[in-house]
Chains A and B, each alone.
Chain A
Amino acid sequence: MTIVGELINTSRPAVKEAANNRDKDLIIDLAVRQAKAGATYIDVNCGNMINNEDEIMEWLVKTVQSAVEIPLCIDSPSASALDIGLSLCKYGRPMINSISDEEERYDAVAPLIGKYDAKIVVLCMDSTGMPVTSDDRMKVVHKLHEKLTQEGVKEDDMYFDPLVKPISSVTTAGVEVLETIKKTKMEYPNVHFMCGLSNISYGLPNRAILNRLFVVQTMTLGMDGYVLDPTNDKTMADIITAKALLGMDNYCGGYIKAHRKGLLG
């Protein structure tokens, strides 16, 4: 299970302020807490710093790596910020979030995958619009799988993001994601998945319960990566428990260990 810790993102006001003031303590605290909570990657995203994203990216990556030695997921709409962030990654193989089949984005990001031997989050979206059905998504999956394979990217390094949309605006948005996972898994059993969860609950009350159950539902169909807040004990407890139930936890070792640590509630 790949957990990308999402907390270092300048769209969160406190992080933006810390980045602007170059306040290392807050960033380091977020990095350490996420790593301790079980994040396999730390996401670094400062995409809303339009005027000085490159500079902030450099500072964030260096600051995070001064505190934790785990791989980073470099997250930005800007190819130049991705390039800078990736060039500084010291621990393990980095991940890029993300590539899509929008022409401009594809051409800008594709060369970075090989350049930094990175893993890649593949967003199921192209220039024709946001996908609605699982078939819309599968068209993009097929295309991007083919293109990335031609670029020399291994299946094991591809993390398909089925694009989670709010069920509040389209009732079937959750089901279409589940269908996409099922179909992708059937056609390409060796690729991985990655998704954010909180979009699913946008516009609805009591969002946490929707997010948590959607983890379990997606995991059941083969989802094996999430961008989330690993310091949220309940979500992490759900993931640990679901892994045991899905036979992904030998002798239920992880589950029992988590119980002894008091992590299961």
Chain B
Amino acid sequence: MATLQEVSQCVLEGDLDNVKVLVQALIDEGTEPIVIINEGLIAGMNIVAPLFKSGEMFVPEVMESADTMNEGMKLVKPLIMDGDIPSKGKMIIGTVNGDLHDIGKNLLIMMVESRGYTVIDLGVDVKEEDFSAAIKKHNPDIVGMSSMLTTTMMKMESTIAQIKKDGLRDKIKIIIGGAPVTQEFANDIGADGYSMDASTAVELCDRMMSSPEELSA
């Protein structure tokens, strides 16, 4: 008999073959799909995140764990209605106009998705007006922007200006990140938050979703 604990362990170990077997066994035994997601698959990623942050796990291992979680998800998701999958919040994320570096962005997407957020990936080189259009279309809680170059950093400022101009600034939280970006810079351009790496960004999102008022103050 498979257990939820074993599913978590599979995710932690990045065991792509076994996760399918175990999740299928749980489904066959009649375990609620939502329970498999929350207490098995996501629970596994919840162990991974702090280990990554503390340097005990490394990028490829985290990616393998995320892949493993997604393999399990593929089996469970068709069994439930979209609206039933718990979402902590909706996020859109992209690298700003002119910036093509996507490794950090992709890592972040993996981390926040595995923590229960719905993420819309806008990709790289996202123009100011495209961020705005995506906010209108998807109505996210959080907008994430990244820039890896000093030349494209200023595009974060112009993107925020565009969002303001379109009257959308009050509806969302904006977080920024990337190698040259600092907290000081985030304050200067009027972003709501900054984080220096993907795992801290997840915590930042959690804080934003749990006490939005505090952060907007």
Residues in A lying within 8 Å of B, measured CB to CB: 11, 47-48, 50, 77-78, 102, 104, 125, 127, 129-130, 165-169, 171, 202-205
Question: By the criterion CB–CB under 8 Å, are A50 and B150 in contact?
Answer: yes
Count of A-B contacts with CB under 8 A?
Answer: 53
Question: By the criterion CB–CB under 8 Å, are A50 and B59 in contact?
Answer: no
Question: By the criterion CB–CB under 8 Å, are A168 and B59 in contact?
Answer: yes
Q: Is the interface of A mostly helix, strand, loop or mixed?
A: loop
Residues in B lying within 8 Å of A, measured CB to CB: 58-60, 63, 98, 100-103, 106-107, 124-125, 149-151, 153-154, 179-180
Question: By the criterion CB–CB under 8 Å, are A203 and B150 in contact?
Answer: no
Question: By the criterion CB–CB under 8 Å, are A78 and B103 in contact?
Answer: no
Question: By the criterion CB–CB under 8 Å, are A77 and B150 in contact?
Answer: yes
Q: Chain A residues with Cβ under 8 A from B125's Cβ? A: 127, 129
A109 to B140, CA, bound (A): 39
Indicate whether A50 sits within 8 Å of B153 (C-beta atoms), given known contacts A130-B101, A165-B103, A205-B58.
yes
Question: By the criterion CB–CB under 8 Å, are A168 and B58 in contact?
Answer: yes
Give chain B nearest CB distance to A207 CB in angstroms: 11
Question: By the criterion CB–CB under 8 Å, are A204 and B59 in contact?
Answer: yes
Give chain A nearest CB distance to B146 CB in angstroms: 13
Question: By the criterion CB–CB under 8 Å, are B100 and A125 in contact?
Answer: yes
Give chain B nearest CB distance to A196 CB in angstroms: 13
Task: Specify the chain B residue showing the minimal Cβ separation from A203.
Answer: B59
Q: Chain A residues with Cβ under 8 A from B179's Cβ? A: 11
Q: Chain A residues with Cβ under 8 A from B153's Cβ? A: 50
Pairs A–B under 8 Å by Cβ, sample size 15: A47-B150, A47-B151, A47-B180, A48-B180, A50-B150, A125-B100, A129-B100, A129-B125, A130-B124, A168-B58, A168-B59, A168-B63, A202-B103, A203-B58, A203-B59
